[in-house]
Amino acid sequence: MKGIKVLLVDDEENFVRTLAERMSMRDAGATVALNGEEALQMVSAGEVPDVMVLDLRMPGIDGMEVLRRVKKAYPQVQVIVLTGHGTEKDEEEARRLGAFEYHKKPVDIDILVRDIRRAFREKVEDAMVAATFAQAGDFDNARKILDEDKK
C-alpha cells in the first residue's frame, strides 16, 4: 500500500495509534488526527489524503460533520467509517453523504486494509475516467475549431 495517503481520525488515542502501527506492519503507513477539528485543519492545510478512516462519535466536530465537509470540498477523498457506536441510521446517513465503506469496531485489520486498497483503486479509476472525458472534450473542441476553419 505504499503511496496511498491514509488519514486515521479517532479520538481514542491508544486505538488509533495501535491501528496506525498495525497498518505500518502491513506496509500501509498512515497519518493520525485525534479529533474532527485536527483532521479538517490537516486537510485544509493541504494534507489531503487518498483515503480517510473516520470515527463518528468524537467530541467537538463529530465524524458525520467531518464526512460532510470533506466530501463537499474534496469529493475525490474516499472515506471509510469505522465506529464503535454506530446505528443503522448512522450507516444510512454516512453512505448518503458519500462514505465508501462502513465498519463497526472491532474490525479485522486485514479487512480494513483490503477496503483501503479498494477505495484507493476506485479513486484512481474515477480520476482516469474524468481525465478521459476531459481529453474527449478537448478533442471535440479542437474538431469544432478545425471544422469552422474549413468553412
- Rounded distance between C-alpha atoms, residue 105 and residue 139, angstroms: 48
Q: How many domains does the chain have?
A: 1
Please choose, from the candidates 81, 149, 78, the residue with its C-alpha nearest in 3D space to the C-alpha of residue 118: 78
Q: Give the structural domain span for 34.
A: 6-122
Higher-confidence residue of 85 and 136: namely 85
- Residue appearing with cell numbers 483532521: 39
Residue 66 maps to a domain: yes
CATH number, domain of 104, equals: 3.40.50.2300
**pTM (two decimals):** 0.83
Question: What are the tens digits of pLDDT across the range 66-111?
Answer: 999 999 999 999 999 999 988 999 999 999 999 999 999 989 988 9
Contact predicate 30/7, CB 8 Å: yes
Residue 1 maps to a domain: no
